[in-house]
Structure 1
């Protein structure tokens, strides 16, 4: 049985192949996944791009990546074709052509049963309804959520606790 090639791609590769090439969607997955907090997010001028904050190797390299850290490339949805490997690992098969969004058992459209939550919540308020239910029934004490910055008219999210 052949062993899988070890994944060694890191920030240097992500920077060259995704960030500087224009493939980056600005999702910040790499920033959130970085266990060393050396990636940050530049949202000035309405362009959402990750950048490396340590200057010793320049913007396109990372000392942690040189030592074997690969978290940022594994978190990036635009970095290389990782879906086939994940699909085979998780589901034991490749995606069918009609499964462009991935392999799933069911796809359902839901919204909160409470009209007020459905109206005020994002996209029908399902997540809000689940969190409210979990807090009311003692499953969680609080939830990390996002709010809109300022008066709520901007699209910039800020973290908050509910």
Structure 2
């Protein structure tokens, strides 16, 4: 059985390499809110991580297995003719908020949706 990984891996593979976009996704999805703090545009571990791995899965800069994700979401791997992945419809979007665009990745769509929802 594979050992669960947590925020320590995010620190090693994303934060220490200065790859963090500051999107706060890891901070927002952490089930134990006291574990992380968000300061100066970066998450910081302040208590022991429970190693649920959720932060790793939402981080846009952490390694992601596309096949594993597609199996989880769609119950199958993509076929060779599905070059863009498994989808019903493709849409393109981008935030119009300059502040969001400056600190986001790939157009800031998720960031603007999260800020609007909260």
TM-score (norm 1): 0.49
Alignment of 1:107 onto 2:104: no
Contact 2:37 2:43 in 1 (8 A): yes
Residue ranges of structure 1 left out of the alignment (5+ in a row)? 55-62, 111-121, 124-147, 149-153
Higher strand share: 1
Cα distance, 1:95 vs structure 2? 6.9
Question: CA offsets per residue over residues 81-134 of structure 1, 9 Å max, x none?
Answer: 2322011232301375731xx431112469xxxxxxxxxxx65xxxxxxxxxxx
Counterparts in 2 of 1:29 and 1:95: CA distance versus 1, 3 Å: farther
TM-score (norm 2): 0.63
Aligned to 1:6: 2
Residue ranges of structure 2 left out of the alignment (5+ in a row)? 101-111
Counterparts in 2 of 1:84 and 1:51: CA distance versus 1, 3 Å: same
Task: Find runs of 4+ consecutive structure 1 residues off by over 4 angstroms.
Answer: 159-162
Aligned to 1:42: 39
> Matches of 2:87 and 2:10 in 1, distance apart?
28
Structure exhibiting the larger radius of gyration computed from Cα positions: 1
CA RMSD of aligned residues (A): 3.3
Name the structure, 1 or 2, with higher relative contact order (CA <8 Å, separation 6+): 2
